[in-house]
Each structure stands twice: as structure tokens, then as C-alpha cells.
Amino acid sequence: MKKTLYLMRHGQTLFNARKKIQGWCDAPLTELGIKQAKIAGKYFKDNNIVFDHAYSSTSERCCDTLEIITDMPTFAQMKDQEQLQNLYDRFFERIRRLVKPGGYVFLYTSEISLVRKNLRLQEGYLSLEEHYEVPRGKNMFYFFIIKVK
């Protein structure tokens, strides 16, 4: 079965318009950025391209771009803990199908408890190789390197 991977950048942000480097800082999409995302969404719709899965970073600019293009709810919109738990449970279940033994999964998230829970449940199949704390403003994020046994 043929699969196609689409990679894209977020729409223009306020920092982009002001020619500022944003790095980990988060700037909202400008009107042009919103328009760019709508144009990309129209392209996919006009060409009957339907996504099985869609992923973005947790930055607002990326989540907003993804939501506009796909009309799918993004991780950032999931305020309900049960939704988040289901998302992570499904993610870890898919690793068995998508990653061969000996392969690696790289995960960047703020949800350390959900990752640790799933690692405990799958300890015979997955091993945590490394993890790093990544301070981001007032929040703490985590980067996990997980090996499939």
C-alpha cells in the first residue's frame, strides 16, 4: 500500500513578519499566515487528499496551522485529561505496528506522567534509553528516546 508523507512549515507569524528569530518563543499567525494555511488546506481538499494522521509540534503557530489545514482537533485543544490519555494510549499502541524491533521513537512532550505510565505498561516491549528536561518559559517539556525491543 502506497503512503505519502507531507511535510510543511507553519504559516507566517508575527515574528516572521518583523524578521525576528523566534526559536522556541511562540508568536501567533498573522493574517497572511492564516491565509497561507487556508490555501494549503484548499489544495489538499481540491486534490481529494485526506489525511490518516496529522502531527505538529505543540507550538501555537504549528497547532493553528495544522488545525486550519486539516480541520482536525490538535493536541493543544485537548484540555480533557481523558482525551489526552486516550491519545497517548493510541500512540504507544501504534508503535508496535509502525516501528520494527531495534528501532527508536523520539518523543517531545509536556505530558511526562502519560509517557511514564505507557512505558511501565509496555516495559517488556519498550525501553527508555534517554530523556532530557527542556525548560520552555514557565513550562517544562521532556524529550524521550525510546527503543523498541
93-105: pLDDT as tens digits: 888 888 899 999 8
Share of the chain above pLDDT 70, in %: 89
Residue 116 has which C-alpha cell?
511514564
> What pLDDT score was predicted for residue 6?
87
Alpha-carbon span 136 to 89, nearest angstrom: 25
Q: What is the full per-residue pLDDT of the chain (149 aa) written as tens digits?
A: 788 888 888 889 888 888 877 766 677 889 999 999 999 999 999 999 888 778 777 777 888 888 888 876 565 555 677 777 888 888 898 888 888 999 998 888 888 888 999 999 998 999 999 999 887 667 788 889 999 99
pLDDT tens digits for range 37-54: 999 999 999 999 888 778
Radius of gyration, alpha carbons of the chain: 17
Q: Burial of 123 by CB count in 10 Å (0-12 exposed, 13-18 middle, 19+ buried)? A: exposed
Grid coordinates given for 101 = 524491533
User: What do you get for the CA distance between the two ends of the chain, in Å?
Assistant: 26
- Residue 4 identity: T
- Of 27, 34, 44, 41, the C-alpha closest to 11 is 34
